Amino acid sequence: MRKTTISLYLFIGFCLAGSLLLIGCEETARSEDKTLEKPRSLDINIGLLAEFYDFGAIPVRGFAIVANLNGTGSSECPPDLRDVLVKYISQQTLGKSSVNPNDFINSKDTAIVEVYGVIPPISYSGQRFDVKVTALPDTQTTSLDGGRLFTAELKPLARITRFNQYAKTLAVAAGPIFVNKIDGSEDDEVSGYVLAGGMTLNEAKIIMAVKEPNYFVASTIRNRINERFGPNTAKALSPEELVIRIPEEYKEHREKFLSMVNLLYIANNSQSQAERIDSLVQELATSQDKVTVELSLDAIGKPVLKSLAVLLQSNDEKTRFHAARCMLDIGNSKALGVLRDFANDKSSIYRLDAVNAIGVSAKRNESIPFLNQLLSDKDFQIRYVAYDHLRKFGDISVSRSLIAGDFFVDSVISSGENLIFVTRADIPKIVIFGSPIRCSQDMFIESRNGNIIINAKPGEKYASVMRKHAKEPKLIGPVMANLEVTDIIKALSETPPKSKDERKRPGLAVPYADTIAILDELAKSGYINAEFKTGPMTLAGAILEKNDVKDR
Q: Which of 258, 255, 264 is nearest to 221 (CA)?
A: 264
Do 197 and 103 lie in a common domain?
Answer: yes
152, 171 contact by CB (below 8 A): no
CA distance 110 to 366: 53
| DSSP calls for 59-85 | EEEEEEEEE--TT-------HHHHHHH
Do 12 and 148 lie in a common domain?
Answer: no
Q: How many domains does the chain have?
A: 4
To 5 degrees, how large is the angle CA 186–CA 190–CA 194?
80
Give me the domain span that covers residue 465: 438-529
In a domain, 524, yes or no: yes
Residues 80-106 have pLDDT tens digits of 889 888 888 887 765 556 678 899 999
Do 107 and 195 lie in a common domain?
Answer: yes
In a domain, 415, yes or no: no
- Per-residue pLDDT, 541: 81
CA distance 268 to 346: 42
- Per-residue pLDDT, 35: 64
Do 150 and 224 lie in a common domain?
Answer: no
In a domain, 303, yes or no: no
CA distance 248 to 263: 20
In a domain, 83, yes or no: yes
CA distance 170 to 203: 10
Do 194 and 224 lie in a common domain?
Answer: no
400 three-class SS: strand
In a domain, 177, yes or no: yes
386 three-class SS: helix
- Per-residue pLDDT, 94: 53
In a domain, 287, yes or no: no
In a domain, 520, yes or no: yes
Do 250 and 114 lie in a common domain?
Answer: no
In a domain, 447, yes or no: yes
Do 138 and 192 lie in a common domain?
Answer: yes
Do 67 and 165 lie in a common domain?
Answer: yes
Do 172 and 234 lie in a common domain?
Answer: no
- Burial code (b: 16+ CB inside 10 Å, e: under 16) for 382-421 equals bbbbbbbbbbebebebbeeeebbebbbbbbbbbeeebbbb
| DSSP calls for 224-274 | HHHHHH-TTSEEEEETTEEEE---GGGTT-HHHHHHHHHH-BS---HHHHH
Last residue of a domain, one of 184, 203, 222: 203
In the chain (552 residues long), the average pLDDT of successive 10-residue segments reads 42 42 44 60 87 88 93 91 86 67 92 95 94 93 95 85 75 96 74 97 93 92 95 95 94 94 89 92 95 96 96 96 98 95 97 98 96 96 98 97 97 95 98 93 90 91 90 83 96 84 81 96 94 95 59 38
**334 alpha carbon, distance to own chain's centre:** 32
303 three-class SS: helix
Do 117 and 243 lie in a common domain?
Answer: no
Do 64 and 184 lie in a common domain?
Answer: yes
Do 100 and 233 lie in a common domain?
Answer: no
Q: Which of 32, 29, 46 is nearest to 218 (CA)?
A: 46
Last residue of a domain, one of 203, 218, 244: 203
R_g of the chain computed on alpha carbons: 32
Q: In terms of C-beta distances under 8 Å and separation of at least 24 residues, what long-range contacts does 407-413 make, across chains too?
A: 407/493, 407/512, 407/515, 409/486, 409/489, 409/490, 411/435, 411/436, 411/486, 412/375, 412/387, 413/375
Residues 224-257 have pLDDT tens digits of 999 999 999 999 999 999 999 999 999 999 999 9
Q: Which of 32, 200, 193, 260 is nearest to 541 (CA)?
A: 193
CA distance 245 to 362: 25
To 5 degrees, how large is the angle CA 431–CA 489–CA 466?
155
